[in-house]
Amino acid sequence: MGVGEDRISALPDELLHDILVCLRSTRAAACTSVLSRRWRHVWAHLPEVILSGRDAPPPPRVSSLPDSVDAALAAFSATAVLLERLHINIMSCPCLRDLTLCYILVDASDISIHSDSLQMLSFSIMGTQRLEVVTPRLEHLYVGEATGEARISAPKLARVVWCVDTYDPHRHQFEGVGRRLRLLDICGNFIAGLLMQRFDEVDKLNLGIYNPHRIEPYERFFSETNKLPKCKTLSITLENHHGLAPVMLHLPRSCGGAKKVSVQLIDPSDYTMCCWASCPCRSEENRKIDGIDLNSLEELEITSYKSFEKELLKFMEQLSRCNAPILKKLVYGHRMFQYPSHTKVVYEKVRSMYHPKIEVECYEFLDGMWVRFD
């Protein structure tokens, strides 16, 4: 209201940083330096830098973008410890720690990333023909778009998230990467086995599995996952889970040493597809519990989002007959039960399958939250 006290400039730097970060543009934040002496260097201490060719009219030439990024970082005063994220479209820069690349290429192109400082890389560039990553300090890698070929040289790589449906060990190569990871997260459908064969041991293994109603890919899944890396925690998201029991009996047989197994069952359809008589999931060979030794299993957690009680209870009954001498806890959650009495029936069935010394918890999803059933 007219000339008065500049209350915004009087705010502490921490609040001004929060305001400028909300602009989602480092260029726009830097423009505030012309407001007054108070604002001259505020932007240079932001915890996040976002650089994009969309910010500057006319758009800069691709060859000039790395230079503009380098210039911006040279003016940026935040230390490497305070700098949390750097999001740009495509570039090469000598002072990055965390890089996210999200881009759509008009024509298929090769992408090359060389960095001596990069520790985290999130790669989602659509249209990449060949990807080359040479990063001696890289620890975390996320791949969200398919590439024709890939060569990844990262001797310190510890966490890999692979969320594409293609992986070919002849075309996608990890060079200088060890045989052990802290995390391997595979979201693709039937590339799981081929990628997992690259590693011998994983602290936590996350698998996203989709079981199509076709014989050939179903059998290929069993073949490619015949041997899983040794892991402490095995987390499985199983979509369209026809033949649940064979798949869930197969995976523990292939994976040794897991202390905790977590299974989330999701059916994307609104109806249940019945298997045909020759479906491999009906094979007695795939339903055998012989050879399943769960000596290390301490906790089993199952969450179901559809009413597949018959198949699920069949699996749990078969699992109860496996050798699991130190199993201590079984957690079961279901969010489609409509009546408490129904939940009670399932709970009592599950409880009767296991030794009284094994703690069994049952949860139902009510009013947007999980509630323990007692």
Per-residue pLDDT, averaged over 160-187, amounts to 91
Per-residue pLDDT, averaged over 27-35, amounts to 83
Q: Of 130, 125, 78, nearest to 99 (Cα)?
A: 125
Per-residue burial over 216-236, b = 16 or more CB atoms within 10 Å of its CB, e = otherwise: eebeebbebbeebbbbebbbb
Name the more confident of 136 and 52. Answer: 136
Q: How far apart are CA 281 and CA 336, in angstroms?
A: 24
User: How much is the pLDDT for 335?
Assistant: 67
- Side-chain-facing half-sphere of 175: CA atoms under 13 Å: 13
Residue 235 pLDDT > 80, yes or no?
Answer: yes
Among 77-81, 130-134, 240-244, 301-305, whose mean pLDDT is lowest? Answer: 77-81
Name the more confident of 276 and 28. Answer: 28
C-alpha torsion sign, points 7, 10, 12, 16 = positive
Per-residue pLDDT, averaged over 246-270, amounts to 74
User: How much is the pLDDT for 64?
Assistant: 52
Read off the pLDDT band of 274 (50, 70, 90). Answer: low
Per-residue model confidence as pLDDT tens digits over 304-359: 765 566 777 777 887 788 778 888 888 888 765 555 556 677 778 888 888 788 88
Per-residue pLDDT, averaged over 144-163, amounts to 93
Residue 84 pLDDT > 70, yes or no?
Answer: no
Among 34-48, 83-97, 259-273, 320-334, whose mean pLDDT is lowest? Answer: 83-97
Per-residue pLDDT, averaged over 99-110, amounts to 76
Residue 126 pLDDT > 60, yes or no?
Answer: yes
